[in-house]
Amino acid sequence: MTKRWTAYKMHVKDVVNGNYTGEGFISFGQWQVNRVRIMGTVVQKFISEDNGYGFFIIDDSTETVRVRSFKDSVDLIKMAEIGDMIDVFGRVRKYEEEIYVIPEILRKVDEPNFYILRKLELKKQDKRIVLTEAPKKEEAKPAEQPDEIVEEVIDTGEKKTETAGDGINPRRKVVDCIAGFDKGEGVEVDKLMKGCGLSEDIVERVLTDLMNEGEIFEPRAGKVKILG
């Protein structure tokens, strides 16, 4: 049976700047990656007159990448329109000097909070990645799946009440920080990380819970605001 490699959630910059092995893999920290999952906005699109080839380019604010399809799979390209936020599962390939993605699954992202959730997931993942030099070709091996969730997080509806030491309720602390810092246009996530007096991991976890529960939303990329 053909092995189906894990689709790793990645920044676009890590895809296009990856060290391509020539065998369908790019180096990503200590791992060798065949399939990726990237999210970004469609900024350009093209389909040939004979429908034999098409592509769109997505931008996730770190870099842009071309998502290309041929023949029967061009219908996937037709699904995306300029301005759409798209979650792409696909295989990495390289032609001449360009690393691109061949799509397998496309999902339109209608809920803007999913974008900031992905950014938080990637920020947390970045801390786990050991950036090393790419292994030599004869040493490179497909990696085991990292400790990450490939599918969307399912909200169980449970509200977490853990404390962060000294009896502090981190959920209440983060909500108070958002309310205190917000001057009308939302609060930058980075400011919350530095200004709440909690570890970044706790702030990330609380923000994820609050967004899953619909308590906060993202009025603009990188900012959060209390709903209501």
Question: What pLDDT, on a 0 to 100 scale, did the predictor assign at position 228?
Answer: 62
What burial class does residue 36 get, using C-beta atoms within 10 Å of its C-beta: 0-12 exposed, 13-18 middle, 19+ buried? buried
Average pLDDT for 49-57: 92
Tens digit of pLDDT for each residue in 58-89? 999 999 999 999 887 899 999 999 999 999 99
pLDDT in tens, 162-205: 455 556 788 889 899 999 998 888 888 888 888 888 888 788 88
User: With 90 as the cut, is the pLDDT of residue 12 above it?
Assistant: yes
Higher pLDDT, 89 or 160: 89
> What b/e readout covers 183-212, taking b as 16+ CB neighbours within 10 angstroms?
eeebbebeebbeebebebebbbbbbbbbbb
- pTM here is 0.58
pLDDT digits (tens, 9 = 90+) for 36-46: 999 999 999 99
Domain ranges of the chain: 7-110, 170-226
* 91-130 tens-digit pLDDT: 999 988 899 999 998 999 988 788 888 888 888 877 776 5
Most confident of the following: 118-122, 135-139, 142-146 = 118-122
CATH number, span 7-110: 2.40.50.140
Could you tell me which CATH number the domain at 170-226 has?
1.10.10.10
Residue 144 has pLDDT above 50, yes or no: no
Which has the higher per-residue pLDDT, 56 or 133? 56
Q: Which residues, 6+ apart, have CB-to-CB distance to 144 below 8 Å?
A: none
151-156 average pLDDT score = 35
